[in-house]
Amino acid sequence: MWKFYVALRPDMMVYGGVVMDIADPANDPPIIRPDFVVECKELSDWYERVRDLKGRFSRPLSAEEWRILWLKGLWDGLAEAMGVRRKEVIRMFREEKSVRLKEAKLVQLYKSIYRPDGMALVSRAEVPGEVRGELEEHGITVYDGVGFRGEKLEELAELLLGMARRTGEPDLLAEAARLIGLPNVDRRALAAAILELVSEKAEDLRSRLADG
């Protein structure tokens, strides 16, 4: 399926519960929204390197494919990562069939498209302050100068461990998202909305629980 071919692929997509299949063909991107994303960089100059996205759009897209990409926000994600307007991104794809992004911008694009609760970048080498600042402004935690020292990632490991849910433990937010027909909704926004509804319906909830 073409949607799987063009889907952007971070290094690690982390799910807090048991997920047997991350494919979600009905949505775009066709992948279940991860709880956390980890991107790893080995080269010392990774932030200077440029990625050409031309290969992902190497054949003409049908009108339906263009419509899906428009509606689902790929253009908005690219525009945000590149610091330009959406119509400029669309023009580049339609006229040039290519967009060139520096790796730091591509990392930001991963976060914009998949909307995880959290994201981290792990770099073997030190990351310049301006690159680190740009990533952190987009909510991406940077672990740099890691080398091959496992202790440098203890904080990240503890964070990921804390996200784990026991087998069989229900994911109430995921179930709520499914019930309202928004499987890829931002979990934090959903949790805030649920708490607001609970506050509004506190008396009714107390009554139901007391009767039960």
Reported confidence tier of residue 109, pLDDT bands at 50, 70, 90: confident
pLDDT digits (tens, 9 = 90+) for 175-192: 888 888 887 788 888 888
For residue 142, the model assigns a pLDDT of 97
3 C-beta neighbours (distance < 10 Å), count: 18
Distance, in Å, from the CA atom of 28 to the CA atom of 205, rounded to the nearest integer, reads 36
Q: Per-residue confidence at 55, pLDDT binned at 50, 70, 90?
A: very low
Whether 51 shows a pLDDT value over 90: the answer reads no
- pLDDT reported for residue 168: 56
| pLDDT > 90 in the chain, percent | 32
pLDDT value of position 11: 95
pLDDT tens across 126-137, in order? 999 999 999 999
How much of the chain exceeds pLDDT 70, in percent? 71
Going by their DSSP bridges, the two strands 140-143 and 118-123 should be labelled as: parallel
Domain residues of the chain, as ranges?
2-168, 170-212
Q: Give the C-alpha separation, 153 to 161, whole Å.
A: 12
pLDDT of residue 53: 65
Distance, CA of 24 to CA of 102 (rounded, Å): 28
More confident residue, 167 or 142: 142
Closest CA to 203 of 179, 180, 211, 176: 211
pLDDT of residue 126: 96
Cα separation, 206 vs 194, in Å, equals 16
Between the alpha carbon of residue 126 and those of residues 11, 51, 120, 131, the distances in Å are 19, 20, 15, 10
Question: Encoding tokens for residue 115?
Answer: 């909307």
* Token code pair at residue 19: 């997920």
DSSP codes of every residue in 153-205: GHHHHHHHHHH---TT---HHHHHHHHTT-TT--HHHHHHHHHHHHHHTHHHH
pTM (2 d.p.): 0.64
CA distance 154 to 70: 40
User: Which run of H or of E encompasses 142?
Assistant: strand 140-143
